[in-house]
Amino acid sequence: MESKEAKKDIRSFSIEELEALFLQLGEQRFRAKQVYEWIWQKGAQSFDQMTNLSKGLREKLSTSYIINAIQVDKVQRSLDGTIKSRFRLHDQHLIESVLIPVPSDNRYTVCVSSQVGCSLACTFCATGKMKRLRNIDAAEIVDQVVLVNKQALETFDHPLTNIVYMGMGEPLLAYKSVMKSIERITAEDGLNMSPRRITVSTAGIAKMIRKLGDEEVKFNLALSLHAADDTKRNEIMPINEQNNLEALMDSIEYFYKKTKGKISYEYITFQDFNDSIEDARNLVKLCKRFPVHVNIIEYNPIDGAPFLKSTEHRIDDFAKYLKDHDVTVTVRRSRGKDIDAACGQLANKD
């Protein structure tokens, strides 16, 4: 008997490959569309759920193929309504996703992971202290959206409104999986969500940002900036040594000219490191080349990191300086801190 590991995940097939497979099995071509809908629209986790296929065909498929669906391993609920889910992958690796409900704005956002761990080693991020074990498959990213959407419906009686690729990992280093997952999430024969409700975040890989521009993507781009000069950014984000701010600004300007997409800078403030008026002045300079929205984020301390959270006063002064210089800015108060679900805290802790 063929082992589970040897079976190919049916979700790795394109619709054309599925059609060829069913013809090879002596089945009619339309069966491929039925299976494709079960996989990508209905989130089927087994062939047994595909009730419009004959029992014989389902058994035939399960003999040679598998659906490596992710499984809920642990759920934590914050006092502020945030829900963190830990998922177990078919190879027993663990990843995390976060549901962030803001009922007052009618926003229900899922923050999805794109890698098991991360290789970028940003000094302030818990995920960055983990090794990157592998990229997450496109289907496993879609699974996160499907399962957290179910969670949103059950808990808040409301579907997801937004998706942010801001969980574990660097999305642009899992480029193929991320792009395929977005294609399936936005496709009419997939989850049919608007790409304008999707934001992909990056620590800043210039050549991949340009590639997004060349592909004229319709989703939004967020740069995890966190420092507005190279010296400080090199200190906290090693990726900046190969992708300095000048290269990043050139690539994002290129992205904007190609896509006219929304661009945001994520800026975590650290006490007495990047929260001075001089830092704000440097940030203003980076906001003048193309339209950009700055999200100032409270720091969430993690074990082993040398940073402290900025004071409310420093954050307010920083934001005011940006606003006074015509920069669109939002101060985001952290959600889910009590369950280690806030920005930079995802690390599969028990």
CATH number for the domain spanning 296: value is 3.20.20.70
Residues 59 and 103 both lie in one domain: no
Same domain, yes or no: 256 and 159: yes
Q: State residue 349's pLDDT score.
A: 55
Residues in the chain: 350
Give yes or no: residues 234 and 181 share one domain.
yes
> Is 343 in the active site?
yes
- Asked, for residue 2, whether it belongs to a domain, the answer is no
Q: Residue 336: its pLDDT value, please?
A: 67
Question: 161 and 27, same structural domain?
Answer: no
Q: Are residues 31 and 162 in the same domain?
A: no
Look at residue 301 in the predicted model and tell me its pLDDT: 80
Q: Is residue 155 part of a domain?
A: yes
Same domain, residue pair 243 and 137: yes
pLDDT of residue 304: 74
3-state secondary structure the chain: CCCCCCCEEHHHCCHHHHHHHHHHCCCCCHHHHHHHHHHHCCCCCCHHHCCCCCHHHHHHHHHHEECCCCEEEEEEECCCCCEEEEEECCCCCEEEEEEEEEHHHCEEEEECCCEECCCCCCCCCCHHHCCCCEECCHHHHHHHHHHHHHHHHHHHCCCCCEEEECCCCCHHHCHHHHHHHHHHHHCCCCCCCCHHHEEEEECCCHHHHHHHHHCCCCCEEEEECCCCCHHHHHHHCHHHHCCCHHHHHHHHHHHHHHHCCCEEEEEEEECCCCCCHHHHHHHHHHCCCCCCEEEEEECCCCCCCCCCECCHHHHHHHHHHHHHCCCEEEEECCCCHHHCCCCCCCCCCC
Instruction: Report the pLDDT value the prediction gives residue 127, as an integer from 0 to 100.
Output: 76
Q: Is 19 exposed, middle or buried (0-12, 13-18, 19+ CB in 10 A)?
A: buried
Give the separation between CA 44 and CA 86, rounded to whole angstroms: 20
Q: How many domains does one find in the chain?
A: 2
* Co-location of 84 and 38 in the same domain: no
Among 96, 140, 170, 298, the one annotated catalytic: 96
In a domain, 316, yes or no: yes
Judge if 95 and 187 occupy the same domain.
Answer: yes
Q: Is 96 a catalytic residue?
A: yes
The three-point CA angle 194-90-46 to 5° equals 70
Q: Any idea what the CATH number is for the domain that residue 39 is in?
A: 1.10.150.530
Domain assignment present for residue 348? The answer is no
The domain in which residue 187 lies consists of: 71-339
Q: Name the pTM for this structure.
A: 0.92
Q: What is the structure's pLDDT at 343?
A: 57
| 1 within domain boundaries | no
- The count of C-alpha atoms lying within 13 angstroms of the C-alpha of 348, restricted to the half-sphere facing its C-beta, is 21
Question: Which segments in the chain show pLDDT lower than 70?
Answer: 1-5, 334, 336-337, 339-350
